[in-house]
Structure 1
Amino acid sequence: MKVWNGSKTSMSGILSTTVLVLTLSFAFSISLEAQVPYKIRKVVIDPGHGGKDPGCNGHHSREKEVALSIGLDLGKKLKAQYPDIQVIYTRDTDVFIPLNERAAIANRNKADLFISIHCNYISVRNRATGSETYVLGLHRAEDNLDVAKRENSAILLEDNYEKTYEGFDPYSPEGHIILSMFQNAHLEQSILFATHVESAFKKLSRLPSRGVKQAGFLVLRETTMPSVLIETGFLSTDTDENYLMKKENQQEMASTILKAFSNYKKEVEEYQEPDISAGTPQKATNVQTTNNEDAKAPTSTKGSLEVAYRIQIAASSKSTIDARYHNIDDLEVIKEGEMYKFLVGYFSSAEAARPRLSALKANGFDGAFIVAYKDGQRIKA
């Protein structure tokens, strides 16, 4: 196990209002030139709060202690099951680590996954129960905003936080709305892991699952890998607090998260295998297309291709076509599972798609990549 407690690094541009982007495609989709299959090699576990920051307090518990116990047990179990994976903690004792440093630890170590563990709280006791797993993104619901405000308020305990976070006010709704518009380039992977977490909680935990949600968390904003923040339960609710206070239940929570990790690991590593004839296809459902009279015809027509190669430029939990995409005449949005994929063109081969891919990347879609479909189902490209 490895723990990093390095110096603070600045989160530049945290509130730059000129960078309002939709999610680019998930980064684990490697190009056809890639030779080495993707493997998860490093996981950062981030027990929330710590030291002078207790987090939220229940009647008999403190968030920082519950989060640390679950985090340490998760790391221990993960290392035992996957000895080839390096587990890195942002903290393994009761010490205060600034939010930006937690992300910096993950970035410096080039981690493949960032898991931040917390406990939830609302002002009205015994009103809410269960787990929630958050990814970075637009939050419209007031309760999502309240959770983000509470977790982000930890920066007030940091020295010189106004300079470090460029004037960000954790209690300002406007600040959180701007922050949430920075879409993580790894959103699809983040949502995938979050979905596995909540699915595992639903099946294995004695607390109910409240699902996957999006909100503007500072600790997720600066990570350069798939990242989630898990709210394991409500310390403001007696049943949740009593459950989370017991060591055996903390271990159960860790085991449940490990199960989710195992399912996620299997899925993303299998997805990497560059074998177009193998793999489990996923049915795609058309949602919407752009409608432009001057639309350019794609290289090939949809019906003429046994295997259709397309270019994915984005993935999102929402199907809304932002203004950024209005100049892409042949954009199509399809739904696969719980995600919406933003696709461009139809091509007879990956080679035929490459010039368009290069043009899209030159126009700012750096994460665009080639995908393949057969009979309307996604296959490995």
Structure 2
Amino acid sequence: MKLYLDPGHGGSDPGASGNGLQEKNIVLDIALKIRDLLVNDYEDVEVRMSRTGDSTKSLQQRTNEANSWGADYYVSIHCNAFNGSADGYEDYIYSGLADSSQTARYRDILHEEITRVNQLRNRGKKKANFHVLRETNMAAFLSENGFIDNSNDASKMRDSSWRQQVAQGHVNGIARAFNLTPKQDDDDSGTFYRVIAGSFKSRTNAEERAQFLIDRGIDSTLVAVTISGETWYRVQAGAFSKRENAERRLREVKNAGIEDAYISS
């Protein structure tokens, strides 16, 4: 799966601003976290970014690059602004698409996963004639992750753990939409040590456990596994190439109250 990941604005274009923050910086950090989570946790994922630093790039350059590369999906990360009076999360697909389109089905999944973890008011699923949604040859999605000029939303944006949660929500949605395969314990870099914070037959129960950890600043995601023909949902609180890092995370999880957490290798 080839993902073109587009942190909006950059360089001479700061995007929206408010409460001492600039959109270009917030969305770049979220996008970098999305990239790292996808590449580290899933098989057969290629990620190309419109920018990985504070550089200027036109909208046409971004969509041309994604089209030339032959991306399977285009995800553009943004923050909103509206005189400080609005708040919350919303996302967009191209206005010319039907609700039954594949792009809309992908968006429905991402919307569900992102709003589950982002702690923002849900403003809904929307459509627009934005360049990056209109001029891309592949399915495209644009998220507006809070209002930077709203004091409550901005206070979340300042928090690195919140930005990590938002990134994880995007990754959970992409993984579900494209049926990505979680990495096995062994890959080219050697053994991975995974911290498992519970296994549940009920996805809802697994989501509650993951949210419990996320609320305490511990990154968590769900991994579906098949055991004796039945689907179980494991709550994974990180995967590490060094056992000592996994043990450190395990202590954090247990200190949060999950005594039955363990390391899988």
TM-score range, shorter chain: 0.5 to 0.7
- Contact kept? 1:133, 1:197, Cα under 8 Å: no
Superposition pairs for residues 47-58 of structure 1, below 5 Å? 47-58=7-18
Q: Can you list the C-alpha shifts for 1:233-281, whole angstroms capped at 9, x where unaligned? A: 10121111110121111111000111111221139xxxxxxxxxxxxxx
| Aligned residue pairs, count | 180
**Which residue does 1:262 correspond to in 2?**
175
What is the aligned partner in structure 1 of residue 48 from structure 2? 88
- For 2:174, give the aligned amino acid: F
Q: Which amino acid aligns with 1:254?
A: A
Q: CA deviation at 1:184?
A: 5.4
Task: Give me the TM-score of the superposition, normalised by structure 2.
Answer: 0.65
Match of 2:27 among 67, 72, 80: 67
Query: Which of 98, 110, 128 lines up with 1:197 in the alignment?
Result: 110
Task: Tell me which of 143, 156, 162 is aligned to 1:230.
Answer: 143
> Is contact 1:186-1:225 (8 Å) kept?
no
Partner letter of residue 57 of structure 1? Answer: S
Report the alpha carbon displacement of residue 185 of structure 1 after superposing the two structures with TM: 9.3
Q: TM-score, normalised by structure 1?
A: 0.45
**1:210 Cα offset (Å):** 1.3
1:178 match: none
**Aligned partner (choices 149, 160, 163) of residue 247 of structure 1:** 160
Question: Partners of 1:189 and 1:241 in 2: how far apart?
Answer: 33
- Contact 1:114 1:227 survives alignment (8 Å): yes
Preserved CA contact (<8 Å) 1:48 1:64 = yes
Distance across 2 between alignment mates of 1:42 and 1:122: 34
Aligned to 1:112: 72
Deviation at 1:201, TM superposition (A): 2.8
CA distance in 1, matches of 2:38, 2:30: 12
Residue in 2 aligned with 1:129? 87
Task: Determine which of 120, 124, 129 is the counterpart of 1:207.
Answer: 120
User: Which residue identity lines up with residue 220 of structure 1 in the other structure?
Assistant: L
Please give the secondary structure, in 2, of the residue aligned with 1:266.
Answer: coil
Verify the 8 A CA contact 1:132 1:232 in the aligned structure 2: yes
User: Pairwise mapping of residues 1-381 of structure 1 onto structure 2 (< 5 A)?
Assistant: 41-123=1-83, 125=84, 127-137=85-95, 183=96, 188-266=101-179
The structure with the greater share of residues assigned to strand is 2
Report deviation, 1:222: 0.9
Partners of 1:201 and 1:209 within 8 A in 2: no
Whose relative contact order is higher, 1 or 2, with alpha carbons under 8 Å and at least 6 apart? 1
Match for 2:76: what amino acid?
A: S
Uncovered stretches (5+) of structure 2, i.e. residues with no partner? 181-265
Residue 193 of structure 1 and its aligned partner are, at CA, apart by: 2.0
Identity %: 32
Q: Deviations over 1:115-137 (max 9, x none)?
A: 000000112x1x22211110110
* Contact 1:67/1:118 (<8 A) preserved: yes
The SS at the match of 1:242 is helix
